[in-house]
Amino acid sequence: MTETTTQDTDRSETAGASSDSQTRSQPGAGTESTPETWTDYEFEGEPKMAVSGLDVYYGDDQALDDISIEIPEKSVTALIGPSGCGKSTFLRCLNRMNDRIRGANVDGTVTFEGKNIYQEALDLVELRKRVGMVFQAPNPFPKSIRDNVAYGPRKHGKVRTDFLAKLTGRDDSEREDEIVERSLKQAALWDEVKDRLDDNALGLSGGQQQRLCIARCLAVDPEVILMDEPASALDPIATAKIEDLIEDLAEDYTVVIVTHNMQQAARISDQTAVFLTGGELVEYGDTDQVFEDPQSQRVEDYITGKFG
Amino acid sequence: MSYPTDSALVVDDTGTAERLASGVVGLGLVTFVFSLLGLTQIVTEETAILGVGLYDFLAVGLLLMGVATVGLGVGSRVGVFNTTPDATPGAVTAALFGLGGFVVAGLLASQLLGFGTLGWLAVASLIGGVTFVGVALAPEDIGSTLPPGLAAIVVGLLIVGGILTPAFAWEPEGFSATLTGSMAIPLALSVTSLVTMWAGAKAYEGYGSTGRQTAAYLLVGINAVAIIAVLVGLLLFIASKGVGPAFQGFSLVPFEWPFVTNGYSFRPEVINGVFPAIVGTIWLVIGAVITGVPIAVAAAVFLTEYAEQGRFVGAVEIATNGLWSTPSVVYGLFGYAFLVPRLGGSTSLLTGMLVLGFMLLPLCLITSREAIKAVPDEYRDASAALGVSQWETIKSVVLPAAMPGILTGVILGVGRIAGETAPILLVMAGGLRDDAPNVLGSFEFTSAPPFVANDALLQSAPALPYQLYATITAGVSAENATEFGWATAFILLLVVLSFYAIGIFSRLYFRRRLNS
Ligand SMILES: Nc1ncnc2c1ncn2[C@@H]1O[C@H](COP(=O)(O)OP(=O)(O)OP(=O)(O)O)[C@@H](O)[C@H]1O
Ligand SMILES: [Mg+2]
């Protein structure tokens, strides 16, 4: 009875403050203490992206609870966790795609090369050019395969193939062809579609569409690539190709990938972040260490399949 | 070793029932078609087949249908036919049949038996009520066959027995209209044959859910075909009246089609034509599309993609719907009072274009909005995630995907405005003329603002629908005014249909681009 009263007063006092300050200001308040987390991960160099104190709400529902994480450059970071724990939500915070969801509310800071991307003056278009994304469900445009892949470069003015460009002799068709071919090859789709680049992309199979979306993202040449379960609709052979691709990409790019496949995460990632239900980041660290010797009992249970 | 067949125990008469039911449906279709023809006066009571009056012929058929339908129901109940009826035909059927019983009994009592108001009301209520309760309580096979069957028998008997004759006339008090026998007979025939067919279709499938489905398909199918038939009939009717005068003096080699290529010269030796009006109508539509569609699409983009979905958008939506349902003559009045004084002071092609453009606006806005809303958000997200600005996204992803829907609106709108008469009457009225408005040739550059001038746009021009109205109704002096009018109507139809064709082909083109 007394406990409830205290909590009520606490709430009214801290009204307006974000929930993390509430829990932090009174460690061990009540019997339900905040579960322990292991998210300190030491690495060399500056982080490409850093997140601190990130809360995300959809309306009144909290999807992410006080997430802090630093993502090293030119590496693969895997996000794993049970369905609905907020992995996609987290990923969308990194290129501010959550802005597009009505009712979504983001609190906290996310930096890209040290600059806060949630500041007023940020150029969203520029940010998303540099932080690309492959969605959980394939979403090609109802255009030809070539137009899909070349969409980004064309819109960014990197290649010009319009009528005016042809007229003035500044036609970049060859360069565009190169980009299309390179991107499709990287996404392991080239051999299947090279003879029908002008066919509509909606005529491809689900897995092919997903690889096309990867190619479309690569064509823009982003620095960070966010991938939301890019291999969930692919057969083992295409999956293996995509995994190879991701490992290759990590030489020049920073890759953040959501996956439900533990083996995949263990195979391709350099560091792994484990989210658990309720939108908390429970453990983050070197992939080998997280999988072989997890600090948290809950993470161990999740990884060994005792708890989903 | 073979099983002994005991045919005496297994009464497998499904074949008979199906044959009987198909007979009912087939006869019903024939009766229905002829009674519709009778309603449109294409056939009349004087039409005879093999010396027997057509209606007597159909009535005998209806009588047979009625008997067969009753037989089908009773046969199913006593177990002669293999059927799977439900426990009851359902409340809706019961209510409709009850209503039918009320109407039939009321008409019989008041018209044939001469009951007073109180009398026929009592009889009608009694019969209607009994039918309702009876059908609601009866098993499905009896409930859905007996009432139509009996009605068919009654109507058949009335006609065969010479009680309901073409001479029959019903003049309801307080109405100035008269329902004559030559209308009443086909009307009664069509309604009863339709309902009996429905029962026959049910019986054909042995009732139950398959029976209801087949019966429903039959009704829906007949409905669709009847509507198409009405349309085709309308077209044929206009064509039959208009083709003759429209093709007067027509020859293919050398190509001559005076009605379409000539103006109205008021000289007796040349064939008068509607060329100026065709050109006027085409310019009107082009002008209206140019003024209306871009504004509509731009507004739709703003309302759907940019504006906060709130009170403002809601208000605009209501205003748009209101504008769409505004009578066209009100648009015309607005043009007359507002535009005409400001644009040269006289009725002109330009004011016509603007007013029709305003009329096009709301429909195109509504359909464009729906089309843009229907573009999946995934496309927008995908484009945004590639670092493409919102406007570029709208231009290269959203609008192309919405194009077929937008065009549908334009097609519908053009169909409406191309035949619009009332506003034209007020803001553009041009009478019968010899020369067509020469819009392209009249552009002139001037040294003072606005630097271009176009006399043709500022003069009144003829248009097909208005000319049609003028020649047929208003008695504008024209030789053979009626024939000229029908031919004009026929040409107007062709012009509108060609606009449709253009619209539909361009929509097909954009759909192809999205899907293949
Ligand atoms: N657009 C949205 N509106 C409201 N709630 C949402 C929305 N998107 C996600 N959520 C909620 O946020 C929580 C996290 O969702 P999220 O999609 O991030 O999960 P996830 O970890 O990606 O799951 P999965 O593995 O199934 O993809 C869920 O409870 C979900 O219901
Ligand atoms: Mg997800």
Residue among A54, A79, A87 whose CB has most ligand 1 atoms within 8 A, to mutate: A87
Does residue B257 form part of some domain? no
Q: Which residues line ligand 1 (CB under 6 A)?
A: A 58, 63, 81, 83-89, 101, 136
Give Cα separations from B98 to B102, B127, B153 (angstroms).
6, 8, 17
Does residue A150 form part of some domain? no
Nearest residue (by CA) to ligand 1, atom 29, is: A84
Same domain for B281 and B216: no
Number of domains in chain A: 1
- Closest of B259, B328, B256 to residue B485, by C-alpha: B259
Least confident of A1-5, B236-240, B360-364: A1-5
Same domain for B296 and B193: no
Q: How far is the CA of A86 from the centre of ligand 2 (A)?
A: 7
- Closest of B355, B287, B362, B373 to residue B318, by C-alpha: B362
Which residues of chain B have a CB within 8 Å of the CB of A150? none
Which residues of chain B have a CB within 8 Å of the CB of A210? none
Hey, are the CB atoms on A213 and B384 less than 8 Å from each other?
no
Q: How far is B371 from chain A (nearest CA, A)?
A: 15
Top-ranked range on mean pLDDT: pick from A120-124, B40-44, B260-264: A120-124
pLDDT band at B478 (very low <50, low <70, confident <90, very high): low
Same domain for B164 and B20: yes
More confident call, A114 vs B297: B297
Q: What is the dihedral of CA A57, A61, A63, A67, to 10 degrees?
A: 60
pLDDT in tens, B154-165: 999 998 888 888
Does residue A265 form part of some domain? yes
* Contact present, B445 and B452 (Cβ < 8 Å): yes
> How do A280-286 and A271-276 pair as beta strands?
antiparallel
* Contact present, B501 and B407 (Cβ < 8 Å): no
- In whole angstroms, give the CA distance from residue A79 to residue A258: 5
Does residue A129 form part of some domain? yes
Q: Examine the pLDDT at A109 and tell me if it is beyond 50.
A: yes
Number of domains in chain B: 2
pLDDT in tens, A215-273: 999 999 999 999 999 888 788 888 888 898 899 889 889 999 999 988 899 999 999 99
Cβ burial of B316 (10 Å; 0-12, 13-18, 19+) is middle
Same domain for B483 and B392: yes
Which residues of chain A have a CB within 8 Å of the CB of B382? 135, 139-141, 213, 216
Q: How far is the CA of B121 from the centre of ligand 1 (A)?
A: 66
Q: How far is the CA of B373 from the centre of ligand 2 (A)?
A: 25
Q: What is the dihedral of CA B245, B249, B255, B259, to 10 degrees?
A: -40
Determine what percent of chain A is predicted with pLDDT higher than 70. 87
Chain B residue with Cα closest to A128: B387
Same domain for B188 and B68: yes
Does residue B268 form part of some domain? no
Residue among A55, A58, A135, A258 whose CB has most ligand 1 atoms within 8 A, to mutate: A58
Per-residue pLDDT at A297: 83
Does residue B413 form part of some domain? yes
Residues 6+ apart with CB under 8 A from B86: B139, B140, B207, B208, B209
Q: How far is A213 from chain B (nearest CA, A)?
A: 9
Does residue A27 form part of some domain? no
Q: How far is B378 from chain A (nearest CA, A)?
A: 6
Q: How far is B252 from chain A (nearest CA, A)?
A: 42
Does residue A195 form part of some domain? no
Does residue A99 form part of some domain? yes
Which residues of chain A have a CB within 8 Å of the CB of B400? 142-143
| pLDDT average, residue stretch B459-482 | 76
Q: How far is A53 from chain B (nearest CA, A)?
A: 24
Residues 6+ apart with CB under 8 A from B378: A135, A137, A139
Q: How far is the CA of A84 from the centre of ligand 1 (A)?
A: 5
For residue B230, the SS3 value is: helix
Per-residue pLDDT at A26: 39
Per-residue pLDDT at A35: 59
- Return the bridge partners of B53, or none: B48
Taking the CA of A79 as reference, the closest ligand is 1
Nearest residue (by CA) to ligand 1, atom 25, is: A83
| pLDDT average, residue stretch B133-144 | 91
Query: Range of A271's domain?
Result: 5-13+38-139+222-303
Provide the terminal-to-terminal Cα distance of chain A, rounded to the nearest Å.
34
pLDDT in tens, B304-361: 998 888 888 999 999 999 999 999 999 999 999 998 888 877 888 899 999 999 999 9
Hey, are the CB atoms on B515 and A202 less than 8 Å from each other?
yes
Taking the CA of A259 as reference, the closest ligand is 1
Cβ–Cβ contact B269 with A under 8 A: no
Q: Examine the pLDDT at A285 and tell me if it is beyond 60.
A: yes
Which residues of chain A have a CB within 8 Å of the CB of B376? 139
Domain closes at, from B181, B200, B221: B221
Does residue A78 form part of some domain? yes
Nearest residue (by CA) to ligand 1, atom 2, is: A58
**B416: CATH:** 1.10.3720.10
Residues 6+ apart with CB under 8 A from A231: A210, A238, A239, A242, A243, A259, A261, A264
Which residues of chain B have a CB within 8 Å of the CB of A213? 382
Does residue B121 form part of some domain? no
Give Cα separations from B437 to A226, B106, B281, B283 (angstroms).
62, 62, 10, 9
Does residue B102 form part of some domain? no
Q: How far is the CA of B315 from the centre of ligand 2 (A)?
A: 38
Residue among A61, A88, A262 whose CB has most ligand 1 atoms within 8 A, to mutate: A88
Residues 6+ apart with CB under 8 A from A304: none
Nearest residue (by CA) to ligand 1, atom 6, is: A58
Q: How far is the CA of B23 from the centre of ligand 1 (A)?
A: 62
Per-residue pLDDT at B180: 81
Q: How far is the CA of A63 from the centre of ligand 1 (A)?
A: 7
More confident call, A169 vs A63: A63
| pLDDT average, residue stretch B436-444 | 73
Q: How far is the CA of A87 from the centre of ligand 2 (A)?
A: 6
**A250: CATH:** 3.40.50.300
Of the partner residues B379, B383, B385, the one whose CB lies closest to the CB of residue A132: B385
Q: How far is A198 from chain B (nearest CA, A)?
A: 9
More confident call, B219 vs B443: B219
Does residue B145 form part of some domain? yes
- Return the bridge partners of A69, or none: A51
Query: Range of B285's domain?
Result: 276-430+454-515
Per-residue pLDDT at B7: 42
More confident call, A294 vs B95: B95
Domain closes at, from B152, B187, B221: B221
- Residues in A whose CB is inside 8 Å of some CB of B read 95, 97, 100, 125-130, 132-133, 135, 137, 139-143, 151-152, 155-156, 199-200, 202-203, 213, 216-217, 220, 222
Domain closes at, from B221, B245, B268: B221
Q: How far is B373 from chain A (nearest CA, A)?
A: 15
| pLDDT average, residue stretch B376-394 | 94
pLDDT in tens, B360-381: 999 999 999 999 999 999 999 9
* Contact present, B424 and B352 (Cβ < 8 Å): yes
Per-residue pLDDT at A14: 38
| pLDDT average, residue stretch A127-140 | 93
Taking the CA of A85 as reference, the closest ligand is 1
Does residue A147 form part of some domain? no
Hey, are the CB atoms on B381 and A139 less than 8 Å from each other?
yes
Same domain for B148 and B65: yes
Per-residue pLDDT at B97: 93
Name the B residues in 379-418 with CB < 8 Å from any A CB: 379-389, 392, 396-397, 400-401
Does residue B291 form part of some domain? yes
Ligand 1 atom nearest the C-alpha of A82 is 25
Whether the ω angle into residue B450 lies within 30 degrees of 0, i.e. cis, is yes
Per-residue pLDDT at B233: 87
